[in-house]
């Protein structure tokens, strides 16, 4: 090979190396972010996911939806989670007490309302007090010990003085979505769920909204877990969810924005 051809080959090889190195440097490694969230946020968060990933293509979101109590237990048992969103403060308080939250990352994200629902076109239930009627054979609520919506439902029924009266016809769901399904499929005469869940189904109707004085404040707290492998990315995702534009989208799903 002539000296000229060798020189041209060397220049070409070096150019390839520099281009390859530059591309490698400019590409960002993929980050997998795991978010454990209360089941009632499923529709809203899945709607927001493409919006976030358009802006952050190298960050892949994996959601784990369940009751807040179940998610709390999973985290306590070492489940690999970056962000936790609870439907009540109780579960987040417990994790914070045990030192499982990244300090300074917890904040209140959203609010909600509790409603009484019935299968579509049913017209013999108009209020919570109607649940004591002999016409009503079954009423579904979330399991109060693990499902915040069930906890709020029990508080409402106790405040109204009818919890003991309807206890024998109460069916418990593992999360709020199961309660919604019981009513939508007419397996129960009625159910108590979040307003946001009720509005995801055209098979149920809202017949009453619980007065806020009858239950604890409904607050959805969010925080980064101490064990997160990507705490800075997790903090950025929380900032995204807290932004005014995203809070407006939550409001379209009937959540209540909480100002920071």
Detail the residues annotated as belonging to a binding site for molybdate.
40, 68, 149, 176, 194
Q: How far apart are CA 94 and CA 92, in angstroms?
A: 5
Q: How is the beta sheet containing 139-142 ordered, strand by strand?
A: 170-173, 139-142, 190-194, 114-119, 204-209
Q: How far is CA 179 from CA 39, 68, 70, 91, 216, in A?
A: 11, 15, 16, 20, 20
Cα separation, 41 vs 199, whole angstroms: 12
200, 115 in Cβ contact below 8 A? no
From CA 117, how far away is CA 199, in angstroms rounded?
A: 10
What end-to-end distance do the CA atoms of the chain give, in Å?
70
Helices (H) and strands (E) in the chain, counts: 10, 11
Which residues participate in the annotated binding site? 40, 68, 149, 176, 194
Question: What is the SS3 assignment for 115?
Answer: strand
Q: What is the DSSP letter of 212?
A: G
* Positive or negative: CA dihedral 154, 155, 160, 163: positive
């Amino acid at each position: 090979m002539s000296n000229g051809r060798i020189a041209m080959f060397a220049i070409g090889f070096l150019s390839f190396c520099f281009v390859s190195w530059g591309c490698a440097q400019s590409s960002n490694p993929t980050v997998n972010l795991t978010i454990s969230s209360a089941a009632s946020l499923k529709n809203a968060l899945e709607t927001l996911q493409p919006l976030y990933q358009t802006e952050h293509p190298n960050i892949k979101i994996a959601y784990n939806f369940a009751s807040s109590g179940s998610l709390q237990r999973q985290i306590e048992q070492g489940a690999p989670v970056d962000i936790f969103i609870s439907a009540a403060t109780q579960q987040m308080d417990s994790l914070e007490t045990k030192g499982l939250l990244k300090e300074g990352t917890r904040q209140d994200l959203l609010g909600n309302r509790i409603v009484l629902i019935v299968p579509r076109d049913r017209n013999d239930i108009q209020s919570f007090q109607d649940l004591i009627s002999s016409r009503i054979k079954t009423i579904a609520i979330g399991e109060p010990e693990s499902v915040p919506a069930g906890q709020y439902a029990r508080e409402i029924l106790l405040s109204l003085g009818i919890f003991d009266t309807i206890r024998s016809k109460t069916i418990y769901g593992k999360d709020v979505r199961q309660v919604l399904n019981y009513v939508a499929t007419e397996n129960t005469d009625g159910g108590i769920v979040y307003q946001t869940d009720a509005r995801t189904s055209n098979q149920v109707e809202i017949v009453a909204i619980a007065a806020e004085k009858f239950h604890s404040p409904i607050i959805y707290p969010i925080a980064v877990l101490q064990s997160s492998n990507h705490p800075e990315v997790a903090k950025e995702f929380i900032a995204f969810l807290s932004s005014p534009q995203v809070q407006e989208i939550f409001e379209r799903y009937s959540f209540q924005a909480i100002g920071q």
